[in-house]
């Protein structure tokens, strides 16, 4: 079973960078597409980025395009989210998720497994 654990969150000033990691401790990473979502206070969970199993296909929310980069290392059962030029509005709990279903890249309901989340706070 997939068991996802996020790390790398923290407090950073606006304009700074963070790299989030999401490791599958269940070591059943194979075949899963991976996504990052976030939930800001008093807001709905929203899609951030996703990557196919092969890493060839990637999707980004318009709000992070050009600033965030998703990548994965299947040998390490880990997916990453490099976040640059951070803004206060990026403040949220970030979750990684795994799915096998085709399509639905930006839809939380298509994802089968979720991590516990990691807090990212960007100060102005």
What digits encode the pLDDT tens for the residues 10-61?
Answer: 999 999 999 999 999 876 777 899 999 999 999 999 999 999 999 999 999 9
Q: How confident is the model at residue 111 (pLDDT cuts 50, 70, 90)?
A: very high
Q: How confident is the model at residue 101 (pLDDT cuts 50, 70, 90)?
A: confident
Here the contacts of 70-74 (C-beta below 8 Å, separation 24 or greater) are: 70/34, 70/36, 72/34, 74/29, 74/30
* Token pair recorded at residue 104: 């639905």
């Amino acid at each position: 079973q997939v068991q996802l654990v996020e790390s790398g969150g923290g407090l950073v000033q606006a304009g700074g960078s963070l790299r989030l990691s999401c490791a599958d401790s269940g070591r059943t990473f194979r075949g899963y597409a991976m996504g990052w979502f976030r939930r800001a206070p008093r807001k709905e969970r929203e899609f951030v980025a996703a990557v196919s199993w092969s890493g060839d296909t990637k999707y980004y929310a318009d709000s992070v395009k050009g600033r965030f980069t998703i990548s994965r290392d299947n040998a390490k059962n880990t997916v990453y989210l490099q976040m640059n030029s951070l803004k206060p509005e990026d403040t949220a709990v970030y979750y990684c998720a795994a799915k096998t279903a085709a399509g639905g890249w930006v839809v939380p309901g298509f994802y089968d497994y979720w991590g516990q989340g990691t807090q990212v706070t960007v100060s102005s």
